[in-house]
Structure 1
Amino acid sequence: MKMVLGPGRVTSREIGAFEPAHERDAGATNRNPGLLPWSTRLIVFAPCGPPGRVSLGTTEGDMVMETFAERVAGIDIGKADVKVCLRVPSTRVGRRHSEIRTFATTTRSLLALRDWLIEEQVTLVGMESTGEYWRPVYYLLEEIVECWLINPQHIKVVPGRKSDVSDAAWIAQLVEHGLVRPSFVPPPPIRRLRDLTRFRSSLIHDKTRQVQRLHNVLEDAGIKLSLVATDIMGVSGRLMISALIAGQREPEQLAELALGRLKKKNAALIDALTGRFDDHHGLLAQMMLDQIDSLDAAVAKLDIQIDASIEPFRQIQEHLVTIPGVGKRASEVIIAETGADMARFATPGHLSSWAGLCPGNNESAGKRFSGKTRNGNAWLCGILGDCATAAARSKNTYIAERHRRL
């Protein structure tokens, strides 16, 4: 942003990185003091304004930046320590006092940080979302002060001035003036439910990878069971694979293990089960089956715990499962990821954007550039994609008919 400085006394002020944001080139001339050349660099000063306000510009037509919170702290979080910048009103009128301290990320040190913030009567704390390291800091401070978790993309600093200390000071100033929006952090009950549903999803993905590895072992042995059976981990497929591992190699005997509709495909099964499966393949396949069984048992335990944790939101879940394509597990994930409180999203479009399901808008000079979908909540985006696929395959529903028309 370019600013024009008119006449009037200005005084330097502690703002930004405590350095001039712009400065005028040496030797530059200016015939018109009210108009500066396009290439001119300026020193931006802030005249002393009343407490609680930061004024930028001249005495005529001041640009005033309101103070959103008087006593704030900005935290730059690392694995081993955190840098904390405190900003409170100074004893001098119109000034702000800044103090920076470093704390370790152990619980004892974080308790000392909490005591310091309580002593300074801080009312708002902002911190950058750094991996998983923000969690212990946020969870410890949310009990005594309002905490804002900020998207790192929203707080980029001037290139060349990047350091942990300057980041903490920058976060504190952004929070002080309300120039950033906090990210959604659900309350503890929803966080616990989210941990369970996400861990279950991870285990289900692990099971899928083990099944794919089993596919590869069978392909390596020349067993084409997946060409005939829709699911090799079904009852019939599991019986045939277990028989192969036990030493049965005759395709006719293996084909007799088929159940249900698969019995009608006896000739195709005999052809598909003819291969060179040996003890080496049997060892690998048995280990993979053991892993799959272990994962199934863990998922079953999580299902029981999730069902108990979802009880306070049972009515919401019952409404969700009435939507075509949304099943029991999908409804549990949706509640865990959104917090079951739609009031925090201004419109359905805001929720779609937060989930990462809306295309971007990138237009300049009348030209449209790539509008790829932003990175949103991957867990919610994934389950909503599964719900959409299931809804498109449903029968006698408006959503399925709409999908076919498109």
Structure 2
Amino acid sequence: MVDVIIDCCAGLDVHQGTIVACVLGGKSNRGTRSRPGKTIRTFGTTREKLQSLVAWLKAEGVTHACMEASGVYWMPVFATLEASEAVAPIVVNASHIKNVPGRKTDVKDAEWLAHLVRLGLVRNSFVPDRPFRELRELTRYRRSLVETQASERQRLIKLLEGAGIKLAGVLSDVFGVSGRAIVRALIAGTHTPQQMAALARGTARKKYAALVKALDVRLEGHQRLMLECQLQRVENAEADIAALDVEIDRRLDPYAEYMAALLRMPGIDRVVATAVIAEIGIDVSMFPTAAHLAAWAGVCPGNHQSAGKSKPTKARKGNRHLKTALCNAAISASKKTGSYYKAKYHKLKARRGGGKAALAIAHKLLLAVYHVLRGSPFRDLGETYLDKLNVKRSAARHVKYLEKLGFSVKIEPLAQAAICLK
């Protein structure tokens, strides 16, 4: 017999337009402790219907309500329950609570959720506080805009290349001051190659002759129209990103101390630090250890063990927004001179490849982030840390490398060498 953890609880099967709620052990039908009473009702998802759902759960004496993290449909339900302060909302990963096969209905799903909550067999997913959820929406939308902008830039360059205009082969940045002026002249269609090349500014003026040759192609009318649309979409995305940055910076003001601490770490710039705070928040007490946080983010190795043997497996699934930001930070950290992360990255890259090495460095960065957010100052171990862990092995590796180059090497400790010199 399994002990009952929660006497009165509810399971919510949330959809776009309906919510099926199953209450076990409600006031209207208590039953017994071993076999609770069951009440099932269906509600809509509008604000008025959500208020009715909360009022009904309160009347039934429900203390905990569980729902699956299905798309974005759970978010307004969670926010309404959270605001009520009477019913504790629980969000769970759908893959962790799969029902037994057969008889799949919304009512069965809601009842199954309620049974799991009642017996304490669900693990609450990490949902940050409301300010961080709002910051999350802003940073995730900003990332989408950056990706959209990058796609439009690639389409614009592809259009120019397809038309025979080799502007990208001459200018290092087609979207710089010189590049944009030339693109606008191409859209107008009234300039000669010499006039367009004369629009170059700064160091691009030295490329006048090359620009004249690259621009010696006339665009068709439909190509100029497409070019205008693409440039407009790039500039609109830039304006939207700038507006989002202002709002994000305003919301980050209360966390300036945490931002400054994160920015001291190798590879972490303002974008990555913002993503870390938006996705995790500043209170990491929800995660008992740094390893738990790494598992939640999906940057730690996966486990696949059978018959006492560990087998290769893919990386764990996790928070893809945080994972992407950390992997970008890992690649930047691998270029930091004198950093432990640079030495570790190249050591792993030689054996496992760049992708797995970047993920491993992202893992180590997140472990450091966990302790930084808990108030510990960041300290880089240094590029020679790994060699000092096993001096004998490191020395043997260097000797072997020198012998391959044709040298005869004999090594001895510095103290012993000083005695011999005397």
TM exceeding 0.5? yes
From 63, 66, 74, give the equivalent of 1:123: 63
Report what 1:139 is aligned to. 79
Report what 2:315 is aligned to. 373
Report what 1:112 is aligned to. 52
Report what 2:36 is aligned to. 96
Cα deviation per residue 1:150-191 (whole Å; 9 max; x = unaligned)?
Answer: 100011111112111111111001111111101111111111
Identity %: 41
Distance in 1 of aligned mates of 2:19 and 2:163? 55
Structure 1 contact 74–171 (Cα < 8 Å) conserved: yes
Over 3 Å counting, the alpha-carbon distance change for 1:93 and 1:83 in structure 2 is closer
Matched, 1:209 2:151: yes
Counterpart secondary structure, 1:393: coil
Counterpart secondary structure, 1:125: strand
From 58, 78, 98, give the equivalent of 2:15: 78
Report what 2:270 is aligned to. 328
Distance in 1 of aligned mates of 2:33 and 2:153? 69
Over 3 Å counting, the alpha-carbon distance change for 1:109 and 1:191 in structure 2 is same
Over 3 Å counting, the alpha-carbon distance change for 1:204 and 1:96 in structure 2 is same
Over 3 Å counting, the alpha-carbon distance change for 1:94 and 1:402 in structure 2 is closer
Structure 1 contact 75–83 (Cα < 8 Å) conserved: yes
Matched, 1:189 2:131: yes
Q: Scaled by the length of structure 2, what TM-score is found?
A: 0.76
Structure 1 contact 222–277 (Cα < 8 Å) conserved: no
Counterpart secondary structure, 1:202: helix
| Amino acid in structure 2 at the alignment position of 1:104 | G
Counterpart secondary structure, 2:120: coil
Counterpart secondary structure, 2:285: helix
Q: Which moved more, 1:291-300 or 1:268-277?
A: 268-277
Distance in 2 of aligned mates of 1:273 and 1:311? 47
State the shift of 1:240 in Å. Answer: 1.8
Over 3 Å counting, the alpha-carbon distance change for 1:107 and 1:213 in structure 2 is same
Cα deviation per residue 1:65-120 (whole Å; 9 max; x = unaligned)?
Answer: 22221111111111121111111173546431111111111222221111111112
Q: Which moved more, 1:272-281 or 1:119-128?
A: 272-281
Structure 2 contact 189–219 (Cα < 8 Å) conserved: no
Distance in 2 of aligned mates of 1:327 and 1:67? 48
Structure 1 contact 324–391 (Cα < 8 Å) conserved: yes
Q: Scaled by the length of structure 1, what TM-score is found?
A: 0.79
Distance in 2 of aligned mates of 1:233 and 1:313? 34
Structure 2 contact 25–31 (Cα < 8 Å) conserved: no
Matches within 5 A, 1:226-241: 226-241=168-183
Cα deviation per residue 1:249-290 (whole Å; 9 max; x = unaligned)?
Answer: 544443333333434444443443333423322221111111
Distance in 2 of aligned mates of 1:154 and 1:247? 60
| Amino acid in structure 2 at the alignment position of 1:360 | G
| Amino acid in structure 2 at the alignment position of 1:362 | H
Q: Which moved more, 1:211-220 or 1:384-393?
A: 384-393
Matched, 1:383 2:325: yes
Distance in 2 of aligned mates of 1:270 and 1:325? 40
Over 3 Å counting, the alpha-carbon distance change for 1:274 and 1:403 in structure 2 is farther
Over 3 Å counting, the alpha-carbon distance change for 1:122 and 1:208 in structure 2 is same
Report what 2:406 is aligned to. none
